[in-house]
């Protein structure tokens, strides 16, 4: 297995673990209207990261890879927003998920920039 595919497999597992951890976090949220509404938004974006990263790994071209990677970066950024809102509004603390989402966003953003520079003529 080459380094590139090993990295992709590790990131696939990491995004899946993030999705599972997000599900566990969602289950622990208070049973209030605002927690339910924000929580569902959070859950959708957090699990979407893993699903869309798997699609990135199946891309048929560099352009498709880049396009799908852009979606993943958007979803992880949205997830960070919902986590920050939950913390700042005292719905729930989520330091470990915030840390992991921030790390994932950094990794994925660098990948996006690298691919983008390769696509430019």
Q: Radius of gyration over alpha carbons of the chain, in Å? A: 15
- Does residue 112 carry a pLDDT above 70? yes
Strand stretches in 4-112, DSSP E: none
Higher pLDDT, 62 or 78: 78
Q: What is the pLDDT of residue 4?
A: 79
φ and ψ at 90, to 5 degrees?
65, 30
Whole-number Å distance between alpha carbons of 49 and 73: 8
66-100 pLDDT, tens digit per residue, is 999 999 999 999 999 999 999 999 999 989 999 99
Cβ contacts of 25 within 8 Å, gap of 6 or more: 42, 92, 94, 97
Q: What is the pLDDT of residue 121?
A: 64
Q: How far apart are the first and last CA of the chain?
A: 30
Q: Which of 2, 1, 4, 29 is nearest to 114 (CA)?
A: 4
* pTM: predicted TM-score of the whole model, two decimal places: 0.92
- Domains of the chain (ranges; CATH) run 3-119 (1.20.1440.60)
């Amino acid at each position: 297995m080459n380094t590139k595919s090993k990295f992709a497999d590790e990131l696939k597992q990491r995004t899946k673990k993030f999705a599972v951890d997000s599900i566990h976090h969602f289950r622990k949220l208070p049973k209030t209207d605002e927690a339910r509404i924000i929580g569902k938004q959070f859950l959708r974006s957090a699990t979407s990261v893993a699903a869309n990263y798997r699609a990135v790994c199946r891309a048929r071209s560099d352009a498709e890879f880049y396009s799908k990677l852009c979606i993943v970066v958007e979803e992880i950024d949205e997830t960070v927003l919902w986590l920050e809102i939950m913390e700042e509004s005292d719905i729930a603390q989520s330091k470990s998920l915030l840390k992991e989402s921030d790390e994932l966003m950094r990794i994925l953003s660098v990948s996006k920039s690298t691919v983008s520079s390769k696509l430019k003529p």
